[in-house]
Amino acid sequence: MCVAVPAKVIKINGNNAEINSMGVIINIDISLVPDVAPGDFVIVHAGFAIQIIDNEEAQKTLEMFKNYAE
């Protein structure tokens, strides 16, 4: 239920943003993190970014997910 994954913000359009979540481009709502900028990493839960996160750690986690997938 409370599953959330890190993703990179690509483009911002008002209250929405395009993100790259493990290679998939999706549109999410950023009302809860209005200060987010392109290039930031966010934690995404059910189509909303709920927190801006540390870039370095996010990349590590994404690497880990990739390793799992392989």
If binding is defined by CB under 8 A, does position 64 make contact with another protein? yes
The site map against another protein for 33-62 (x = CB under 8 A) is xx--------x-xxxx-xx-xx-xxx--x-
If binding is defined by CB under 8 A, does position 18 make contact with another protein? no
In the chain the first and final C-alpha atoms are separated, in Å, by 25
Q: Tell the smallest beta-carbon distance from residue 24 to another protein (Å).
A: 12
Q: What number of other Cβ atoms are within 10 A of residue 70's Cβ? A: 4
Do the Cβ atoms of 42 and 49 come closer than 8 Å? yes
Residue owning tokens 């392109």? 38
If binding is defined by CB under 8 A, does position 12 make contact with another protein? no
